Chain A
Amino acid sequence: MERYTGNPDAVRALVRDLEVHKDTYIDEELFALEMEHLFANTWVYVGHASQVPNKGDFYTTTVGTEPVVMVRHTDDSIRVLYNRCPHKGVKVAGETCGNTGKFFRCPYHAWTFKTDGSLLAVPLKKGYENTGFESCEAKHGMAPVENVKVYRDFVFCRLNPNGISFEGYFGESLSTIDNMVDRSPEGRLEVAGGVLRYMHNCNWKMLVDNQTDTCHPMVAHESSAGTAVKVWQEAPEGTPKPMAVELFAPFVSSYEFFENMGIRVWENGHGHTGVADSIHAAYSPAPGYWEQMVATYGEERAKAILGDTRHNTVYFPNIMVKGPIQTLRLFKPIAANKTLVESWTFRLVGAPDLLLERTLMYNRLINAPTSVVGHDDLEMYERAQEALQSRGRDWINVARLFDPAEKEQKNVATNGTNEWQMRNQFRAWARFMTESM
């Protein structure tokens, strides 16, 4: 039974001011509509330019559930192609990354395609003469994604040919990417250290919601971060504070800390925690780094860059960026109840190795399938995915600190425990779900 297809009013009715219907997390039809509409109308993260530095370099991934390949074309531009042979439908680029030279070659029948997707050659070409092949879809090669934007080496695309512009979509939120890149004394990032891949049996939006959920750490992470603090307190006096403790401890800060750190809410579902303060604000300095930053930017500007210690920035729909930790988490939807979480890390080009070491330790301690913090969170998501099936209640609550006036506001900083950002995400969800219905 189709309840939501072609029925934008029914989709919009799932998002109320103070609550969201459970179907948004558990309904397969809505998931299919998210892939068809939400992930096509929004600008979705594909990859980073440093993954394809040379002509012919490629990287395969998904946008929503669409298999795509990001490739450095012969003119040095970055192209995104649907990774599907127009002949029999085979995935053309099979490896996660590599170099394909000047063209892709399908492994099934050796059709070849330039790295902009256009058809280069077909074996036994004569067999297509006078067949009307010219009028076939296949004549056009691998389908390119037309709307691709590379912003400071971060590659985004919008699958639908028409829709909101990149700048209109992200607006002021790009300041988080700016800050992360500016933290390199050379103004450049490189993907580094390997990607952690963590399978979650839950809906992708649970992860997005969690990024700005500041009322859970002191509860759900008492077992992990709380135990780390306790074990550290038992260490002999005078023991230097280990990096791991410095990373863990702020998770179990008080409600007051999280309230005061603030949340800033942008348009179109974007927002970030950590306006005035953040759990990343009090890390030990890396020797030599400050001097490098001053040499590049001058003291005042360097201070401003390093003083902006934003916690989690959600770029709706499905990534989260941590500027001070140079991490990007990608929540890849697989099914209504299945999500692959990829946690990527970056090297600040030119900065001391110690900063990459800290980034990698953070990623390992917090985002790995072996992470105790990850275990705390995933347990909650999976319990929710199971219990949301209940007929006992139909709605999920997002009422905390709601103010009716907020709907007319944008780019506003507010109390750090406000659920405004979650409401913001769902308003954007309803908009981009129904825009092309």
Chain B
Amino acid sequence: MTTLDITHKTLTDFIYAEARLLDEQRFEDWLNLFTEDGHYWMPLAHGQTDPRLHTSLLYEDKLLLRVRVERLAGQRTFSQQPKSRCHHLLQAPTVESSDPAGEHIVRTAFHYVETRQDQQTLFVGWTTHHLVEEAGALKIRLKRVDLVNCDAAFGNIQLFM
């Protein structure tokens, strides 16, 4: 198996590319970035450490993410008629730690807007990616999205941050 020469630039390029897949609504490609045991996590509380015995906004494995992706493409997904759109504005990611044999942890502050019809909603926070190398490619084992106002009352959040 070939191993990647993982530099900081490899990691930050990955973060930018991932956000672009979401903004371009290439959800199948995006889903393929996750490892089979990967999770997408949006905590409900600041500094939350437990996704199991404390509620989160989202804590989804690949099966549940696949349900979302297929639902977004469904003919009877009425909350997506018309469709939502989104845009990520990312701050330069910082590599928090990098273990060539294990996880690379990257933190990225963001402003994210999700729009639908005449409504545009701004979400602000930071993501923490736990990336691993798998079959010669970087994959997401955990993407954690912390919103500044994670405990606020939101309307629908339908796409991915």
Contact = CB atoms under 8 A, between A and B. Distances in A.
B53 A369 contact: no
Contact of B63 (A242, A372, A375): A242
B9 interface: no
B96 interface: no
Contacts of A220: 78
B157 interface: yes
B74 A227 contact: yes
Interface string A196-227: 11111100000000000000000010111011
A360 B48 CA distance: 14
A223 B151 CA distance: 27
A231 B69 CA distance: 11
Q: What class of interface size applies to chain A in its complex with B? A: 35 or more
B101 interface: no
Interface stretch (B11-19, B54-62, B133-141): B54-62
A231 B67 contact: yes
Contact of B151 (A197, A235, A357, A368): A197
A198 B44 CA distance: 12
How many interface residues does chain B have, given as a range? 20 to 34
A232 B155 CA distance: 28
Interface in B33-88: 42, 44-45, 52-59, 61, 63-64, 66-68, 70-71, 74, 76-79
Given A223-B76, A244-B64, A378-B156, A369 B57 contact: yes
A357 B155 CA distance: 25
Given A231-B70, A360-B55, A364-B55, A375 B153 contact: no
Contacts of A232: 63
Nearest to B77: A223
Interface of B: 42, 44-45, 52-59, 61, 63-64, 66-68, 70-71, 74, 76-79, 151-158
6 contacts: A197-B153, A220-B78, A228-B64, A242-B61, A369-B155, A370-B42
Sorted from nearest, which 6 A-B pairs have the closest CB atoms? A197-B153, A379-B79, A369-B154, A223-B77, A375-B79, A194-B55
